[in-house]
């Protein structure tokens, strides 16, 4: 695990999220140093065959000033098995369904400009943005004294919210629903205050600032805004504006709410502001590995030796983190695709978004087809399998121990090249040895780099200077 020591004169909130599974480490590279690699089929399929119990530590360990929490992947959270909406035998199908709905909502949000729609619910204006299906969870304390809750980690969200009592309608979550009457630090937000003004399309009810968020799949959260204390291990963060949801429904089963890390002012990153300089770094733990993942805040955590790429702002939607993608590579060769395919248009369409809540990377159809066909040429010797769900390029690797596959790379702005480990683009979709090329076509010009392709790679955001860094460390 890699730790970074902050500068003495820069305030720092450092949060590490730790999560462990049981196979070997993966590697990633920022240059194409080979055209092919050996993919271990047996190790990659292990996570689908074993559903080990994940231990959640009761107390966080502090080492050298570093606070540690656990980051838990949605599919591994055993609590789901208690809910009728979760079918363990359909983990893959459920994940792809959530993923498709999230992608549809992101595209709807960008297409609609700022992404907010009048819902017709009285005088309230309802957000059309999708905060995600929640592939990764973090456990934090809410209130004083803190009540531990699982929260969805989402880099594409600009709000922090939690289900609250009294609950007129709440979905199932793994912990008791937060009761604000038991928290001495809970303070409601009045209407016509600076905080309420920062909430997009806020409303007013009985003198309290009201919020409503409607997701593209029909999920929603509705309630009032509040100022509350959040606890990360042994560190408390006071005066955080959160949504206290009294009516909530949808695909957030087991999570108590959502921890938004987006680029807007109401996300946790935006609210921390000068304390962290808009800087944070994360490692999403690779499926089935024994390595550790992390989420860190503060300028002191920005690593030396990372490959830095300029962040691009889309004025239509400040929540998302856009990067410059110039092309795609297969087997060490750049696929002939025009760079214009990946650019943001004058109308704010297109571009390339990095998103922790989307699992599978989406590419515009013209880019995807060329990319996929180049991969098919290099894997012509591997036995094919029928299409599965959103994947049209699958292989029957039953009986194989290892196979030789071409490298897959992203050509980034500034001349950087990110070469992915094989497990980040060939994923098992069942326990019968079927693996699929983990990319899919986008119905619009928008590209989304999902969490499967981000897994195991340290990714850092320097919001103050407008850069995102890849590497140099692995998770």
- d(CA 82, CA 22) in angstroms, rounded, equals 24
Residue 104's contacts (CB-CB under 8 Å, 6 or more residues apart) are 130, 216, 217
Do residues 163 and 178 make contact, with C-beta atoms less than 8 angstroms apart? yes
115 closest CA partner among 106, 123, 124: 106
DSSP state letter for 350: B
Look up residue 194 and give its two tokens. 């600076």
The kind and range of the H/E element at 283 are strand 279-283
DSSP one-letter code for 253: T
- For residues 434 and 394, the answer to whether their CB atoms sit within 8 Å is yes
Residue 347 to residues 108, 195, 275, Cα–Cα distance (Å): 14, 30, 34
Alpha-carbon span 332 to 313, nearest angstrom = 30
Structure tokens at 310: 């300029």
Residues classed as catalytic? 154, 355
Nearest CA-CA partner of 404 in 371, 378, 440, 439: 378
Q: How far, in Å, CA of 337 to CA of 326, rounded?
A: 9
């Amino acid at each position: 695990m890699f730790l970074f020591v902050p500068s003495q004169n820069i305030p720092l909130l450092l949060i590490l999220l730790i999560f462990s599974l049981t196979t070997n480490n993966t590697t990633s590279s920022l240059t194409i140093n080979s055209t092919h690699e050996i993919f271990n089929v047996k190790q990659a399929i292990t996570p689908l065959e074993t559903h080990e119990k994940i231990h959640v530590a009761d107390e966080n360990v502090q080492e050298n000033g570093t606070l540690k929490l656990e980051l838990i992947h949605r599919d591994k959270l055993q609590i789901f098995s208690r809910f009728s909406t979760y079918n363990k035998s359909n983990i893959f199908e459920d994940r792809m369904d959530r993923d498709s709905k999230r992608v549809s909502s992101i595209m709807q949000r960008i297409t609609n400009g700022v992404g907010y729609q009048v819902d017709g619910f009285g005088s309230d204006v309802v957000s059309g943005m999708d905060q995600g299906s929640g592939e990764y969870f973090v456990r934090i304390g809410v209130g004083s004294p803190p009540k531990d809750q699982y929260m969805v980690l989402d880099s594409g969200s600009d709000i922090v919210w939690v289900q609250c009592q009294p609950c007129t309608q709440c979905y199932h979550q793994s912990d008791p629903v937060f009761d604000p009457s038991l928290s001495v630090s809970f303070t409601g937000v009045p209407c016509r205050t600076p905080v309420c003004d920062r909430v997009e399309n806020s409303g007013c009810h009985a003198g309290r600032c009201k919020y409503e968020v409607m997701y593209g799949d029909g999920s929603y959260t509705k309630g009032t805004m509040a100022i509350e204390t959040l606890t990360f291990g042994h560190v408390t963060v006071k005066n955080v504006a959160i949504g206290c949801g009294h009516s909530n429904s949808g695909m957030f089963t087991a999570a108590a709410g959502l921890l938004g890390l987006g680029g807007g002012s109401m996300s946790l990153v935006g609210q921390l502001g000068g304390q962290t300089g808009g800087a944070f770094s994360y490692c999403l733990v690779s499926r089935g590995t024994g390595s550790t993942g992390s989420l860190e805040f503060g300028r002191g955590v920005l690593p030396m030796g990372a490959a830095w790429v300029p962040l691009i702002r889309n004025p239509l939607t400040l929540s998302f983190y856009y990067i410059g993608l110039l092309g795609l590579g297969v087997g060490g060769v750049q696929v002939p695709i025009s760079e214009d395919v990946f650019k943001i248009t004058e109308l704010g369409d297109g571009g390339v978004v990095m998103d922790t809540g989307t699992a599978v990377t989406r590419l515009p159809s013209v880019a995807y087809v060329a990319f996929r066909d180049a991969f098919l040429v290099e894997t012509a010797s591997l036995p094919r399998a029928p299409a599965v769900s959103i994947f049209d390029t699958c292989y029957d690797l039953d009986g194989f121990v290892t196979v030789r596959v071409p490298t897959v790379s992203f050509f980034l702005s500034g001349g950087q090249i990110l070469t992915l480990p094989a497990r980040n683009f060939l994923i098992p979709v069942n326990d019968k040895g079927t693996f699929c090329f983990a990319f899919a076509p986008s119905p619009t010009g928008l590209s989304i780099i999902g969490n499967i392709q981000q897994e195991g790679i340290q990714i850092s955001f320097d919001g103050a200077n407008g850069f995102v860094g890849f590497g140099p460390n692995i998770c």
